[in-house]
Chains A and B, each alone.
Chain A
Amino acid sequence: MIPDIAQEGSAQEEQWVPEPKAPVVMFNNVGKTYGRYQAIGGVSLALSGGVTGILGLNGAGKSTLFKLLMGKLQPTQGEVRLFGTNPWKNPAPYARVGYVPENENMHDWMTAHEFVSTFARLHGLTRDEAKQEAERVLEFVGLSDVMHKKIGRYSKGMRQRAKIAHALVNDPDLIILDEPLQGCDPLARTTIMNVIRELGRMGRTVLLSSHILSEIERITEQIVILHQGRLLAIGNLHAIREQLDNIPHTIEIECGDAKALAQDVLSLEVVHGLQFPSPTKLKIFTHHLGEFHQRLPKIIVDNNHDVMVINNPDDDLQSILGYLTGGYN
């Protein structure tokens, strides 16, 4: 094969041109099975612009979805389109994509600067351009002071950021981050979240996956929920929450005097049930979680209640998934 002269990233004869009106990411009834195990079944999805969080438990098919998009896996059914192009066996659209794999192995023997600039050259940059570009993105993710140290000596958060830098190197239109916050300490987490939010503000399409709702919540409101390889919900987080409002939520409050608090709380019309598991514990049932949370602080402050713990056992992904799949009782 003649090395690519056109520098458009493809080994094909003609230049690759993205379809102008195609969505950045499109899945049309996509399914992927490994042997008899179905990782993804019948997912249809089209995304363009903004930050989108893909939520799902382990094994929900988040990574599979991304790998299908990156042409690492071949769909067993349906079609995957990246800028309107089929990515399987066709690396051309990756010119505009940055991908941060979930895999923790990296080229530990390189420095972050070498790592990023080497891979920048695969985008068709010259040696010098690649070095400049690498410095720029490493600065962007906040690694410029350690970029000449070996990746093997980085902490987990720094490694994640190096990976993100490598994905950002060509100023891509679409950035795919597979579990970017996994295993990071709160400080690294915040830095990475800021980077992702910044990317969203710059008008890039960002896809990130996580299994922690609160993490995604801090970055974006646009979410896709995957469960057991199926698409469960798409859309604004609040809209999804509103749907959840038809289902009673439970809030546990530990306080000095549960009965006193109960009296005050009952004045809220959103509360439709109470339970007293112990003298210092109060269980509240409500349909409108958001509203309740808005009004609860005022009650506590006004009446000077001694509240120690507010526990919201429902406000995690597991319970949302439970509601959405109808498993709640």
Chain B
Amino acid sequence: MEKKRGETIWTSLDRKATAIAEFTMRQYRTRISTWVVLGVGFLAISVVLLFYIDAMNTDIEAIDNDGDSYDWDGDGYVNGQEIKYGTDLNDAFSHPGLLNPPIEPEPASMYINEDDYDWDYSDASSITTGYDNDGDCANSSLLLSQQDGNGDGTPCNIILRYDSLNGGYIVFADPYVDEDPDEDRYGKEAQHRAFILGIGKLGFVFLLSIFIPLFLATGLIRDEMTSGTMQYMTAKPIARGEIFLYRMLGYLAIVWPYLIMLCSLLALVSGIMGPGDQFFRFGDLGVWFSILIAALLATLVYGMLFAFLGVLWKYGIILALPIAAWELGMALLSMSVPESSFLRMSIVGWSMSIIDSGAYLAWPDMAMFTQAGEWAGGSNQGDTFLMFGGNELPGYGALEWAQSDLGLGLGPYATTVVSVIVLLFQATFFWFIGQLIFKSKEIV
């Protein structure tokens, strides 16, 4: 055919590529199963979202982490007040009411959550932070040397030292500093972050990115071959590798907008519902963006893989199931041991490292934040006087479950770039083998 004027690569592309891509999209649109699959995926994510909204609207019960709201000796003055005035906690005949002038007893609620969680973020390996909000350290009858328990020369502060061996911070706190953090404030923030990470990793990158391609991409070539309608397409002057690729484009044209829409919806809802004074949590958008990138790439790679399996064998879908099981194992592994080298042989491991990098960039205080949850105002340390310790702050468990460190030993940007390249390579690889096999397939 004569080349016409104004012919560019795009007008050329428009002919074959968009013809097949549009054809594939229309084919998906006319199938009820497509809508059922996408609808069920939406429903599943919405259910988790409902639990999240419910959690955000439920106040987390305040816990008296340091136990100073109790009145051990029953004299009407809670321990905190007695400590403040230096009277004996265990002697009913020693309380601030006997002082001159006598002091009225304060309500117990004043001594719950009296020290907020307020640590400054810094990426130094040793941080001085923490504020004695209630003044029970600075105003106490302790000696100056006792107020500086961690020996850094500043009384009533907290030192966080990065422990490169364990990969976390160690808390060195002066007495009575941040000893009773606000559970609701910490817990909501932790649950919020855990929700974003959990839904991103297991909801988007695992659940949606495996099952949607399993339903939609496996038959991309195979169904047409089984029903014989592939005969029409292969009789046209177009290479089979291109058919494979452009069919995939049509699949992506359905799946990617869906993921973008779902991800934006969740980002919007969680941004508004999330804890904090601001109207919208813009800071989280980075994480949502990395989740989106990870999910888009994962659906691409799984789509290519399953379409390839479909081309490979009539029963290719059976091969997809052990792969899905392996990927589930890898998903759980990447959440607990992100540096495991098994993850390099998976798709989900690379996708999740993109999310971890995004979270690392958006929430740089994550390591400190989780440490605060575990420390829980000192109730998980041996040196506290608290009797009912051993409890992390609420939300800590969920966050610890959903969050993981960067496993590649690279910085967040490098991790993202490497992971994206690897995923694109995987997609290309599966496409390449797929089209090789498709090319030498006899279509009966």
Contact = CB atoms under 8 A, between A and B. Distances in A.
Given A101-B231, A106-B229, A122 B11 contact: no
A10 B237 contact: yes
Contacts of A4: 12, 16, 238-239, 242
Contacts of B234: 70-72, 91
A95 interface: yes
Given A73-B442, A109-B27, A1 B245 contact: yes
Interface in B21-35: 22-23, 26-27, 30-31
Given A101-B232, A109-B27, A122 B16 contact: yes
B233 interface: yes
Contact of A73 (B237, B238, B444): B444
Contacts of B17: 3
B185 interface: no
Interface in A121-138: 121-127, 130
Nearest to A94: B237
A165 to B, nearest CB: 12
B1 A8 contact: yes
A105 B228 contact: yes
Contacts of B5: none
A73 B441 CA distance: 8
Interface in B333-374: none
Nearest to B12: A5
A113 interface: no
A74 B14 CA distance: 31
Contacts of B442: 67, 72-74
Nearest to A32: B442
B440 interface: yes
B227 interface: yes
A40 to B, nearest CB: 13
Given A1-B245, A103-B229, A7 B3 contact: yes
B417 interface: no
Most interface-central of A4, A71, A89, A122 (chain B CB within 10 A): A122
B269 interface: no
A3 B242 contact: yes
Interface in B1-56: 1, 3, 7, 9, 11-20, 22-23, 26-27, 30-31
B443 interface: yes
Interface centre among B12, B15, B442, B444 (most CB of A within 10 A): B15
A109 B239 contact: no
B237 A95 contact: yes
Contacts of A166: 232
B237 A9 contact: yes
Contacts of A101: 228, 231-232, 235
Contacts of B240: 91
Interface in A68-124: 70-74, 89, 91-95, 97-99, 101, 103, 105-107, 109-110, 114, 118-119, 121-124
A67 B443 CA distance: 8
B231 A72 contact: yes
B161 interface: no
> Ordered nearest first, which 10 A-B pairs have the shortest CB separation?
A9-B237, A121-B19, A103-B228, A11-B239, A122-B236, A99-B235, A109-B30, A95-B237, A101-B231, A94-B237
B439 interface: yes
Contacts of A11: 239, 241-242
B308 to A, nearest CB: 15
B252 to A, nearest CB: 15
Given A122-B237, A124-B1, 7 more contacts: A10-B237, A97-B235, A118-B19, A122-B16, A123-B237, A124-B12, A126-B15
Contacts of B235: 70, 94, 97-99, 101, 167
Q: Is the interface of B mostly helix, strand, loop or mixed?
A: helix
B15 A121 contact: yes
Contacts of A105: 227-229
Contacts of B435: 1
A119 B239 contact: no
B237 A107 contact: no
A4 B243 CA distance: 12
Interface in A5-64: 5, 7-11
A97 B245 CA distance: 23
A103 B22 CA distance: 23
16 contacts: A3-B13, A4-B12, A4-B239, A7-B3, A70-B234, A73-B443, A73-B444, A89-B440, A91-B234, A91-B240, A93-B237, A97-B235, A107-B232, A109-B30, A123-B237, A124-B16
B232 A92 contact: no
Contacts of A94: 235-237
B242 A119 contact: no
A127 B16 contact: no
A71 to B, nearest CB: 8
Contacts of B16: 3-4, 121-122, 124
Contacts of B7: 7
B444 to A, nearest CB: 7
Nearest to B244: A1
Contacts of B15: 7, 121-122, 124-127
A217 to B, nearest CB: 28
Q: Which of B14, B17, B26, B442 has the most CB of A within 10 A?
A: B442
A47 B393 CA distance: 84
Interface in B151-180: none
Nearest to B441: A72
Contact of A107 (B9, B18, B229, B241): B229
A9 B238 contact: yes
Contacts of A121: 15-16, 18-19
B231 to A, nearest CB: 4
Contacts of B229: 103, 105-107
Contacts of A5: 9, 12
Residue of B31, B440, B443 most packed against chain A (CB within 10 A): B443
A122 B9 contact: no
A126 B237 CA distance: 15
A211 to B, nearest CB: 19
Contacts of B20: 122
Q: Which of B238, B240, B439 has the most CB of A within 10 A?
A: B238
A110 B28 CA distance: 12
Nearest to B227: A105
A298 B418 CA distance: 91
A123 to B, nearest CB: 6
B11 A126 contact: yes
B236 to A, nearest CB: 4
Report which residue of B11, B19, B27, B31 has the largest number of chain A beta carbons within 10 angstroms of its beta carbon. B19
A11 B238 CA distance: 7
A99 B233 CA distance: 10
